[in-house]
Chains A and B, each alone.
Chain A
Amino acid sequence: MTEIFVARSADMPEGARNTVESEGRQIGVVRAKGKLHAFLNICPHQGGPVCDGLLIHRVEEVIAADKTYQGMRFSETDLHIVCPWHGWEFNVETGRCAGDGKHGLKRFQTVERDGAIYVVI
């Protein structure tokens, strides 16, 4: 197990991201929903740089009790990271693909101590 320095904590507020390289692999680290999340920067679809993509809440439909459609809204809980190549979306907390749960991002552990952030590989 090796720890790789990512950034100083102060330089990564909520919504910030950084990328580190290790043995030819790029690992993206994002701070979202108060936690750090680290993923291999390769989308399982066609290999896009998923960690460079937009962070955006899941879009959900509003269906009334009588089953009628009432519009769309952003989820207040589920946050996605979106691959900028094609738009595949992944739950930032689980790495699972929103459109097809059979696919997911490769995740890494992170450590934050003494004002610094590390990814563990």
Chain B
Amino acid sequence: MQYRSSTPEFDRTIEGFQTGEHLANARRQADARKLDDVLIIDVDCHHYETDNFAEILEYIEDPVIKQVAVNTFAYKGSAAVLMDQPGYQDVGGRVSRYLERKHESIPKSAHPREVEQTLRWMNALSVDYACLFPTPMLFMGLHPQAEVEVAMARAYNRWLTDKVLPSNPRLRSMLYLPFNDPEATYQMVKEYGHKAGVIGFMVVSTRYKPVYDNAFMKTYALLEELGLPLSFHASYHWNDQLVSMTNRFITAHALGFTFFNAVHCANWIVNGLPERFPKLKVIWIESGLAWIPWLMQRLDNDYRMRTSEAPALKKLPSEYMRDMFYTTQPMEMVNNHEALELTFKMINADTQLLYSSDYPHWDMDLPSTIWDLPFLSEQSKRNILGLNARRIFNVDVSDRFPGAKAAADGMVDTFNQEVAPP
């Protein structure tokens, strides 16, 4: 593949991209830190469902939507049914794997190519289990046709649970929920909640559907009953009225990936949903960590003055937020470690924080981002990298760690712990 530079003399040609070679330094890091001896569960990573899009379209159940999608796909590609928007995740070819991974040589097998591709990067990063999410479908919440989101969610989930998850026990997923249709959302949980490899369900946050809508209550109740976490995965919407004022992708991303999760989280708490569903595990994905102390402080401050507007609450908003779970990436590795350390304390990172790489995306984080933090004990590092996820997803890790104890052994009971930071 050729990458154009600022002048022709620096144009670059890369041939024979191989994920393991691209991540050779990650493998060296893992070896130096002996991370193969550490349980690492990556709670947020991705594949590109568009690599197998023709196959996925065949899984659409609605015959009319399928007929249109297949014919439109033939000349328009995945935009036939997916939402797209401007954005330059690869920073103009500077992050080369965006283009290269599409052409990586992978021996043909009975499984889709991303199975082998995913295992390659997992092995390099020393990740034992990975929760796989789609990529372009992270914009589906903006699709003007709710029925198309439903059709694609059902097709993708059927394909994923048919073709990808059964192919290797290290691969898991929180399945996509077509949240713009509350009834279809409920049916999805009911139908797929017991499927092998399904460890929860995921709402793409970037949409205009409030989480407090009564129509969702039976879904939350069902998830709580099944013991399956509900996660909210961030993305961005450059045409959102607020974000559309930004003129650079850096701004759209830095702000846009936090807005929708912050709004959903604030709505979740102020409407007292933690009181209605006290055992429902809620996870906020890919908004980094810095937004959490900001929202905690804003809500606590207002709540003391406007308690009457959030009458369901029995404790401070920040205390509810400390019962929730957060993924690490993109962790704000600012020069001032004190800020990060305080954030970890404020969210009870020891029990609530879940490592995520977001690989292969441009702002991916390696396990060393956690392992090398100077203010964490080794036990805290192990909790964040894998033990917390093992507990909340009830992951059987015996195939990778045959001597491992049962998931709950020695761990803090999240719902009964002392949640205030020391």
A residues neighboring B (CB under 8 Å): 14-15, 32, 41-42, 45-49, 53-57, 74, 79, 82, 84-87, 89, 100, 102
0/1 interface trace, chain B 13-28, chain A, CB 8 Å (1 if under):
0000000001011101
Please report the number of residue pairs spanning A and B whose Cβ atoms sit closer than 8 angstroms.
65
Contacts of B335 in A (CB 8 A): 100, 102
Mind listing 6 A-B residue pairs with CB under 8 Å?
A47-B29, A54-B10, A56-B94, A57-B6, A57-B7, A87-B91
Q: Compute how far the CA of A89 lies from the CA of B96 in the bound complex, rounded to whole angstroms.
A: 14
Contact residue among B6, B7, B95, B366 (Cβ-Cβ distance under 8 Å from A46): B366
Let me know if B168 is at the binding interface, CB within 8 A.
no
Taken together as a complex, chains A and B put the C-alpha atoms of A101 and B333 apart, in Å, by 15
Q: Select one of B11, B364, B368 contacting A47, CB under 8 A.
A: B368
Q: Is the CB of A47 within 8 A of B25?
A: yes
CB distance from A8 to the nearest CB of B (A): 19
Chain A residues, Cβ within 8 Å of B22: 49, 84
User: Which residues does chain A contribute within 8 Å of B368, judged by CB atoms?
Assistant: 46-47
Interface membership of B213, Cβ < 8 A: no
Q: Which residue of B lies closest to A48 (CB)?
A: B25
Interface centre among A46, A55, A89, A100 (most CB of B within 10 A): A46
Separation of A45 and B362 alpha carbons in the complex (Å): 13
Q: Is the CB of B25 within 8 A of A49?
A: yes
Residue B369, interface by CB 8 Å: yes
- Given known pairs A53-B94, A86-B95, the reply for A15 and B10 (CB within 8 Å) is yes
Tell me the bound Cα distance from A53 to B92 in angstroms: 12
Q: Which of B241-296 contact A (CB under 8 A)?
A: none
B269 vs chain A, min Cβ distance (A): 33
Known contacts A15-B10, A55-B12; is-contact A47 B94 (Cβ 8 Å):
no
A118–chain B nearest beta-carbon distance, Å: 24
Contacts A54-B10, A57-B7 given; indicate if A46 touches B365 (C-beta within 8 A).
yes
Assess the B26–A14 pair: CB atoms within 8 A: no
A87 and B94 in contact, given A46-B365, A46-B369, A56-B6 (Cβ under 8 angstroms):
yes
Which of the listed residues B10, B93, B333 has the most CB atoms from chain A within 10 Å of its own CB? B10
Majority DSSP secondary structure for residues of B touching A? loop
| Chain A residues whose C-beta falls within 8 Å of the C-beta of B12 in the assembled complex | 54-55
In the complex where A47-B25, A84-B22 touch, is A53 in contact with B9 (Cβ < 8 A)? Answer: no
Among residues of A, the one whose C-beta sits closest to the C-beta of B11 is A15
Docked pose: A79 CA to B363 CA in angstroms = 23
CB atoms of A86 and B25 under 8 A apart: no
- B95 nearest CB neighbor, chain A only: A87
- Closest beta carbon of chain B to A120's beta carbon, Å: 23
CB-based nearest B residue for A82: B94
| Minimum C-beta distance from B14 to chain A (A) | 8
CB contact under 8 A between A47 and B6, given known A55-B12, A56-B94, A87-B362: no
B375 CB contacts on chain A under 8 angstroms? none
Option from A15, A54, A55 in Cβ contact (under 8 Å) with B96: A54
A29 to chain B, nearest CB (A): 15
Cα of A14 to Cα of B11 in the assembled complex, Å? 11
Q: Are B25 and A56 in contact (CB under 8 A)?
A: no
> How many angstroms between the C-alpha atoms of A104 and B369 in the bound complex?
18
Interface string of B344-366 (1 = CB under 8 A from A): 00000000000000000011111
| A15–B29 CA distance with the chains assembled, in angstroms | 29
Q: How far is the CB of A58 from chain B (nearest CB, A)?
A: 9
Additional 15 contacts, C-beta under 8 A, given A46-B369, A87-B94? A14-B9, A15-B9, A32-B10, A45-B333, A47-B28, A47-B366, A49-B25, A53-B96, A56-B10, A57-B7, A82-B94, A84-B22, A84-B94, A86-B95, A86-B364
- Chain B residues with Cβ under 8 A from A102's Cβ? 335
